[in-house]
A and B are shown apart, each in its own frame.
Chain A
Amino acid sequence: MRYRLPLAVFLILIIFLAIGLTLDPREVPSPFIGKPAPEFALPELADSTKTLNPRELKGRVFLLNVWASWCVSCRQEHPVLLDLAKRNIVPLYGLNYKDERTSAQRWLEQFGDPYVASGFDADGRVGINWGVYGVPETFVVDREGVIRYKQTGPLTPEILENKLLPLIRQLQGSPT
């Protein structure tokens, strides 16, 4: 009887700690969800005379994938992106973050290029404006240019099928 209170406190503590163990501390909630995507105008990776500007993509749902040739996890998610590009569901744009142009171009030649185009963000300023902190990251932007979802870390086929694609279909289906 007299141990009831300490036991209750202990159990509550255990519950809190157990919940804590299942959370991923790397996953920081993005303040951008539901907010307009930050603007930028970056030279394209393949052709520096062309500019990539998300404002010109308004009216379409698109994905922006932040990647770099130095990023190991990007290799891991690359097949998922190639597969997505092949299925022609949604345009995929790249943000080549803090990279060197030649290495990045070589990387795409070697592993395949899933992107409609990639913006070349050499100093990472655009990345900072988009709140990038762990490459790879993937943003879902709706027709109004509002960020609807952010995936930090590599995309897996499961995340793509269960989270991204249903959301994209829903966004594409909704009238503007």
Chain B
Amino acid sequence: MIRPLILLFWLLPLIAAAVEVREFDDTAKQERYERLIGELRCLVCQNQSLADSDADLAKDLRDEVYDIIQSGRSEEEAIRFLTDRYGDFVLYRPPLKSVTLLLWGGPLLILLSGIVFIWNQVKRRSSVARIDLTEEEQQRLERLKRNLEG
């Protein structure tokens, strides 16, 4: 008795995850639709995509995206439909514009400054090590090296 119940319990997330069923006349359209709604952001629950969101508006916007894709228009058109009305905010992948330059370039900038920083550190340390040795110490070091190799 308990076993089927447990099985049902495991199936629960599948049921909950399924948004409304959509009929497409070809599977390529379905794939495009599903990719799109996974990439577009819901404005009500802002941490969820259109696909994930249970909000009423998300459902309406899925309807709009569905209509556009099912009628054979392009993905760009669906994206334009949403950005015309809600701005770039609906895109999880923001476009490269003058205002998003820092956003896109930032990681590269941080990486570069990190490399410069480490480079400087390494250079300083190695030069410090060389200066610190006196003539006598230098000779001792050479001797030790020879002993080790010998």
The answer to whether B85 touches A131, judged by C-beta atoms less than 8 angstroms apart, is yes
The answer to whether A31 touches B83, judged by C-beta atoms less than 8 angstroms apart, is yes
B68 within 8 A of A: no
The answer to whether B46 touches A25, judged by C-beta atoms less than 8 angstroms apart, is yes
In the complex with contacts A129-B85, A131-B86, A28-B43 CB distance below 8 A: yes
Q: Which of B2-10, B19-27, B32-40, B56-64 contacts A (4 or more CB under 8 A)?
A: B56-64
A interface with B by C-beta (< 8 Å): 5, 25-26, 28-32, 98, 123-124, 128-131, 133-134
In the complex, the 9 A-B pairs of residues with the closest C-beta atoms, listed nearest first? A133-B43, A131-B85, A31-B87, A28-B89, A131-B86, A124-B60, A133-B57, A29-B87, A128-B60
Return the chain B residue nearest A26 by Cβ. B46
Least CB distance, A26 to chain B, in whole angstroms: 8
B44 within 8 A of A: yes
Least CB distance, A45 to chain B, in whole angstroms: 20
The answer to whether A134 touches B43, judged by C-beta atoms less than 8 angstroms apart, is yes
Q: B44's contact among A30, A123, A131, A133, by CB below 8 Å, is which? A: A133
Return the chain A residue nearest B89 by Cβ. A28
The CA of A98 and the CA of B61, in the complex, are separated in Å by: 14
Q: A31's contact among B43, B57, B60, B84, by CB below 8 Å, is which? A: B84
Return the chain A residue nearest B42 by Cβ. A133
Q: Which residues of B contact A98 (CB under 8 A)?
A: 56
